[in-house]
Structure 1
Amino acid sequence: MFELRLLVPQDRVDAVSDALEALDALSVSVEDADAQTDSEQALFGEPGMPPPRGGWNRSRVIALFPTEEAAREAGALLQAQDFFDGCQVAGVEDVPEQDWVRLTQSQFAPVEITPQFWIVPTWHQPPDQARQVIRLDPGLAFGTGTHPTTRMCLRWIARQQLAGQRVLDYGCGSGILAIGAAKFGATDIDAVDIDEAAVQSTQANALANDVVLHAGLPERAQGKYQTVLANILASPLKVLAPLLCAHVAPGGSLVLAGILERQTEELKQAYAPYARLDVADTEDGWVLMTARL
């Protein structure tokens, strides 16, 4: 494999990337060309907020080709195009062969939720102290147990008495919270998401963990639940306040995550007409908020 490396100003990145794809590049990636220098720029803002800028002033575009000849030919063809004005070919480099599957797997280790409850990728053996395990591999849908919001939700689940409960996981992502609820005794579980890929991921992960749940689009959520879980982000959680609270049975629990510490008060105000939210857990600048209806 060979990398074609280019230096591209912000306004040419899309055109150059599209051209590389048309030239049959195996992959195209974009990096800040000034990363780790005094000129480095933050591109992404806080979760749930739009990015403060559309791209870096100067980007490094890296295209992967199967042969050195293909990489150099692509570079030559690009230089002949009008849209390449202001861009620069930085070089062609050989990419050493690696076991990419093993390399990727090495980045995902078992995740401790409690000393007895772990998230374990399928290529790892569970720790000896694990009494409850969710088998989950990284996929397209959010929720592998590595993010603080997911861990806090799972810790809350592990400390509850969910035996026989009807549970709703709203915005299920990978289905990890619904699977956790099943592992701790819930017997009637709906997991819903607006993303079909998340629904499919949840179904596959439930099967892999030998648990029974019902996954589908949001309209699948019907009636009342003893526990309603929603690990999304603050903005959609505020919009969903009346809907989520309407799904909580009298005496039931509402569990919300995806909330930054500074957003605590605005969530309390958004839910005040329906429920009293309190902070139940904090980790790395994120909070878990719960209410008993």
Structure 2
Amino acid sequence: MFELVLLAPEERIEDLSDALEALDALSVSVEDADAQTPAERALFGEPGMPAPKAGWQRSRVVALFPAQSAAQEAADLLALQVFFEGCETVGVRPVADEDWVRLTQSQFSPVDITPSFWIVPSWHEPPAAAQTVIRLDPGLAFGTGTHPTTRMCLRWVAQRSLAGRRVLDYGCGSGILAIGAAKFGATELIAVDIDPAAVESTRINAANNHVALQAGLPELAQGAFDVVLANILATPLKVLAPLLCGHVAAGGSLVLAGILERQADELKAAYAPWLALEVADCEDGWILMTAGRPA
């Protein structure tokens, strides 16, 4: 394997990425060229969605090719393009396969949800303080415990006993919320998602954590639940309001995430005909909203 490394301004990233894909790059990644310096900038999008910008003011673009000749040919062709103005070729260098595995793994460390509740990748040993552990490796589905929305949902789960509770994880992604609920006592768990890859990821992760649950497409969710968890996005959450509220049993709780602070009033209005939502937690501009149905 060989990687072609380029430097590019923000306005060139999209054209450059498209061209690299057309030149049969195996992968293209964009990083902040000023990372680890005072000029570093945060760049986040909503969970499961693209970042609000294609790149940083100064971006480092890394394209992976199967052969040195292919990487060098791509560099030579790009240098002739009008859109390459302002860009710079850093070079072409070999990359051992095992280095990619090590690099990927180094980006994911154990994540603390509470001092005693941790998300731990399989290649790490749990921290000494970890009394409750979810083993979860990064995959295609959203939900590794690192995003504020996931962390807030798991904090909510960890702060109460779910012993004997029936729990629905709607839009399950990796299944992390359902698995977390199982770790805190839930005994009947249904996890659903519109993406078959997420359903499969949930099944694998549940098995790896010795958790029994049912995972499937949304029609699997039937009846009332003591807890309904949905970490999606504000717009689909508004559309799903009657469906999600309809799944909350008497005395049950609804827990919603994927919501920005400025969207709180929109969500309250959307759910008002069924349940009264309130902000229960916040982190980095994101909020957790909950509601309870009277017993």
What TM-score, normalized to structure 2?
0.82
**SS, match of residue 119 in structure 2:** strand
Give the structure 2 partner of residue 252 of structure 1: 252
Letter in structure 1 aligned against 2:133: V
1:124 to 2:127 alignment: no
State the 1:160 CA deviation. 1.8
Q: Give the residue type in structure 2 aligned to 1:94.
A: R
Q: Indicate the residue corresponding to 1:147 in structure 2.
A: 147
- The match for 2:19 among 16, 20, 27 is 16
Structure 2 CA distance, aligned partners of 1:229 and 1:46? 18
Counterparts of 1:1-293 in structure 2 under 5 Å?
1-3=2-4, 5=6, 9=12, 12-13=15-16, 16-21=19-24, 25-29=25-29, 62-76=62-76, 84-87=81-84, 90=89, 92-95=91-94, 97=96, 99-293=99-293
Cα distance in 1 for partners of 2:198, 2:49 equals 22
Q: C-alpha deviations, 1:44-72, integer Å up to 9, x for none?
A: 76669887777899987643334433333
Q: Which moved more, 1:85-94 or 1:243-252?
A: 85-94
Flag the 1:85–1:57 CA change in 2: closer, same or farther, 3 A. farther
Is the 2:30–2:62 contact (alpha carbons within 8 Å) kept by the matching residues of 1? yes
CA distance in 2, matches of 1:236, 1:270: 11
Q: 2: CA distance between counterparts of 1:146 and 1:11?
A: 27
Q: CA deviation at 1:79?
A: 7.0
1: CA distance, partners of 2:103 / 2:148: 24
Q: Which moved more, 1:59-68 or 1:261-270?
A: 59-68
**Mean Cα displacement is larger for which, 105-114 or 3-12?**
3-12
SS in 2 for 1:185: coil
CA contact (8 A) 1:167 1:190 kept: yes
State the one-letter code of the partner of 1:105.
Q
- Whether the 8 Å contact between 1:4 and 1:65 is mirrored in structure 2 is no
- Equivalent pair of 1:153/1:255 in contact (CA under 8 Å): yes
Structure 1 pair 45/231, CA: closer, same or farther in 2 (3 Å)?
closer
Q: 1:161 to 1:11 in 2, by over 3 A?
A: closer
Cα distance in 2, alignment partners of residues 152 and 158 from structure 1: 10
Alpha-carbon distance in structure 2 between the residues aligned to 1:63 and 1:251: 53
Q: Deviations over 1:172-231 (max 9, x none)?
A: 010001001111111111000011111000000000000100000111111111110111
User: 2:222 aligns to what SS in structure 1?
Assistant: coil
Q: Secondary structure of the equivalent of 2:164?
A: coil
- Equivalent residue letter for 2:69: E
Secondary structure of the residue aligned to 2:258 is: strand
Answer yes or no: is the 8 Å Cα contact 1:225–1:249 preserved in 2: yes
Q: In angstroms, what is the RMSD of aligned CA positions?
A: 3.4
Letter aligned with residue 16 of structure 1: A
Count of residues in correspondence between the two structures? 286
Question: Which deviates more, 241-250 or 47-56?
Answer: 47-56
Kept after mapping to 1: 8 A contact 2:46/2:233 = no
> Structure 1's 159 and 217: CA in aligned 2 closer, same or farther, altered over 3 A?
same
Higher Rg: 1
Seen in structure 2, the aligned counterparts of structure 1 residues 151 and 62 have a Cα distance that, compared at 3 Å, is closer
Report the 3-state secondary structure (helix = DSSP H, G, I; strand = E; otherwise coil) of the residue aligned with 1:99. helix
Distance 1:152 1:45, change over 3 A: closer
Relative to structure 1, the CA distance from residue 262 to residue 200 in structure 2 (aligned partners, 3 Å threshold; closer, same or farther) is same
Query: 5+ unaligned residues in a row in structure 2: which ranges?
Result: none
The amino acid of 1:93's aligned partner reads V
Matched residue SS, 2:23: helix
Could you tell me the TM-score, scaled by structure 1's length? 0.83
